[in-house]
């Protein structure tokens, strides 16, 4: 079957060339996914679906045409290719249009297996059993868990095939599996909700359903009795989940298109020190078993490990082929896409490198402060760097986590926040394609009462 799709991609490219395209690229995705959601011991939602589709990008006299289809009938595919060519012929010319430059292409790196046969062959009732087990375990943790908002388990298997007139032929196959629990605790008329999840390429690396459920319940219960605190400037600690959200936000500021448009607060900071020497932020397309690992990006450029910030210095922005031409630089292998879309700039496995100190040490040093475990909204302005998000968490007194806090806002400026990173934990955690350890800022504004 894999050979069939690979040959299909090549035939589409050949047809486009025959019809007058100077360059052509076919991107095929094939996959299946299944999930189960339960409520009150009953199956609420059980789905299984398969999908396949192909996107075709063509260049005719510097004019771009793009079309996609999920109809793989031979009688339809020729018309599909011809449609893409006709769209290109009627488009406005742009000399920056085109496939990646030859100098950016080459042999794909060895990344190890991303495919787990266990995930691909999971029994249909695995999801049901896991979801029911999570619901039961969450309720059993504490009598104050009154409601389970949602429990869900699922898996996915996918393949990608790419062929282009530049001679690129790429194939990637991968699996993923996940567990999710959302729990609500109640006491003295107050409700507190929290959640926990895990997602991995390989089943053996996935946390157990019981662990995911109990962690969601524990996080909900510990927030009971939460109150505001007075507005003040204090040290602030982000747990790994919130630290990952912060690092993920930085990715928008190193997007090469935003930088080119001067719509990033980092646009003029390349080569400058923007954080302490302990800070290294990496985008890694080669990470073993990474959820965003791939041998090539969305247009066939080999992926790599890129240090965005290296020991506090901003080293690179991220580019796809089109944006790289605009900026008169080279693609960094960061084109992201599905078969329904043209390539755009994205990240692979993005993370902040861990430090050597435990989270407990970072907290113990503080006479007072705020430990953030959940935030609301996006709250980041990539143009100015202004940052403001609603937050909940635990107050720190004399180096200990004490009372729960809610309905406060954590505010600052992203560039200033980077410079204020004075502690990085050793607990690098991935729950998706963005990871981070616990991080500490020496001072941020917490607005409450």
In 239-380, beta strands by DSSP E: 281-284, 305-310, 313-314, 335-336, 344-345, 349-352, 368-376
User: In the predicted model, is pLDDT for residue 427 greater than 50?
Assistant: yes
Q: Which of 177, 204, 221 is the last residue of a domain?
A: 221
What's the total number of domains in the chain? 2
Q: What is the mean pLDDT of residues 69-93?
A: 95
Q: What is the mean pLDDT of residues 76-88?
A: 96
Q: What is the mean pLDDT of residues 39-66?
A: 95
Q: What is the mean pLDDT of residues 173-188?
A: 97
How far apart CA 245 and CA 207 sit, in angstroms, is 21
Shared domain check, 307 and 245? yes
Ranges 54-58, 123-127, 297-301: which has the least confidence: 123-127
How far apart CA 78 and CA 56 sit, in angstroms, is 12
Shared domain check, 239 and 204? no
| pTM for the predicted model, two decimal places | 0.94
pLDDT recorded at residue 1: 47
Shared domain check, 285 and 147? no
CATH number, domain at 213? 3.30.2290.10
User: In the predicted model, is pLDDT for residue 107 greater than 90?
Assistant: yes
Q: What is the mean pLDDT of residues 271-288?
A: 98
Dihedral-angle region of residue 158 (phi above 0 means left; psi in -120 to 50 means alpha; beta otherwise): beta
Q: What is the pLDDT of residues 83-100, one digit of tens each?
A: 999 999 999 999 999 999
What percent of the chain is modeled with pLDDT above 70?
99
Q: What is the pLDDT of residues 329-355, one digit of tens each?
A: 999 999 999 999 999 999 999 999 999
What percent of the chain is modeled with pLDDT above 90?
96
Shared domain check, 235 and 197? no
> How many residues comprise the chain?
449
124: confidence class by pLDDT, cuts 50, 70, 90: confident
Provide the residue range defining the domain that includes 280: 226-449
Shared domain check, 449 and 422? yes
pLDDT recorded at residue 380: 85
User: In the predicted model, is pLDDT for residue 3 greater than 70?
Assistant: no
Shared domain check, 377 and 342? yes
Buried b (16+ CB within 10 A) or exposed e, 114-139: bebeebeebeeebbbebbbbbbbbbb
φ/ψ (deg, to 5) at 272: -100, 160
Buried b (16+ CB within 10 A) or exposed e, 320-351: bbbbbbeeeeebbbbbbbebeebbebbbbbbb
> DSSP per residue over 28-64, as a string?
EEEEEEEEEEEETTEEEEEEEEEEEEEEEEEEETTEE
Q: Which of 221, 245, 263 is the last residue of a domain?
A: 221
User: In the predicted model, is pLDDT for residue 378 greater than 60?
Assistant: yes
Q: What is the mean pLDDT of residues 96-113?
A: 96
Shared domain check, 339 and 261? yes
Nearest to 182 by CA among 45, 47, 37, 34: 37
Nearest to 385 by CA among 244, 259, 250, 276: 250
pLDDT recorded at residue 2: 57
Shared domain check, 321 and 177? no
pLDDT recorded at residue 168: 95
Nearest to 275 by CA among 352, 334, 348: 352
How does the average pLDDT of the chain come out, rounded? 96
Cα dihedral sign, 244-357-400-212: positive
Q: Which of 175, 198, 221 is the last residue of a domain?
A: 221
């Amino acid at each position: 079957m894999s050979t069939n799709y690979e040959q299909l991609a090549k035939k589409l490219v050949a047809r486009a060339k025959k019809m007058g395209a100077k360059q052509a690229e076919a991107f095929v995705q094939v996959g299946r996914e299944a999930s189960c959601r339960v409520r009150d011991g009953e199956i609420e939602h059980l789905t299984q679906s398969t999908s396949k589709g192909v996107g075709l990008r063509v260049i005719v006299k510097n004019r771009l045409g793009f079309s996609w289809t999920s109809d793989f009938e031979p009688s339809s595919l020729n018309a599909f290719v011809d449609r893409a060519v006709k769209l290109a012929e009627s488009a406005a010319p742009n000399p920056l249009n085109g496939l990646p430059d030859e100098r950016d292409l080459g042999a794909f790196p060895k990344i190890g297996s991303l495919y787990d046969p266990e995930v691909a062959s999971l029994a249909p009732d695995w999801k049901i059993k896991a979801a029911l087990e999570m619901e039961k375990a969450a309720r059993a943790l504490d009598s104050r868990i009154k409601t389970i908002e949602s429990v869900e388990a699922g898996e996915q298997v996918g393949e990608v095939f790419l062929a282009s007139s530049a001679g690129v032929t790429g194939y990637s196959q991968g699996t993923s599996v996940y567990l999710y629990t959302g729990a609500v605790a109640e006491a003295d008329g107050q409700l507190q909700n929290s959640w926990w999840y895990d997602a991995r390429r390989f089943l053996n690396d996935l946390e157990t359903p019981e662990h995911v459920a109990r962690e969601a319940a524990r996080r909900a219960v510990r927030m009971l009795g939460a109150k505001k605190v007075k507005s003040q400037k204090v040290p602030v600690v982000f747990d790994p989940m919130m630290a990952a959200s912060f690092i993920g936000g930085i990715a928008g500021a190193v997007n090469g298109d935003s930088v080119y448009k001067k719509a990033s607060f980092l646009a003029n900071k390349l080569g400058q020190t923007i954080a302490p020497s302990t800070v290294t932020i990496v985008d890694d397309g080669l990470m073993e078993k990474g959820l965003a690992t791939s041998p090539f990006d969305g247009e066939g450029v080999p992926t790599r490990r890129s240090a965005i910030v290296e020991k506090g210095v901003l080293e690179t922005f991220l580019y796809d082929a089109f944006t790289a031409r605009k900026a008169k630089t080279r693609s960094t292998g960061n084109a992201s896409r599905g078969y329904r879309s043209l390539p755009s700039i994205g990240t692979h496995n993005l993370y902040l490198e861990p430090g050597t100190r435990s989270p407990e040490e970072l907290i113990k040093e503080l006479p007072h402060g705020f430990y953030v475990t959940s935030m609301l909204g996006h709250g980041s302005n990539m143009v100015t760097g202004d940052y403001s998000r609603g937050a909940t968490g635990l107050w720190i007194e004399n180096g200990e986590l004490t009372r729960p806090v809610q309905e406060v806002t954590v505010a600052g400026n992203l560039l200033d926040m980077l410079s204020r990173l004075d502690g990085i934990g050793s607990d690098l955690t991935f729950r998706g394609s963005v990871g981070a350890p616990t991080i500490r800022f020496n001072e941020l504004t917490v607005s409450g009462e």
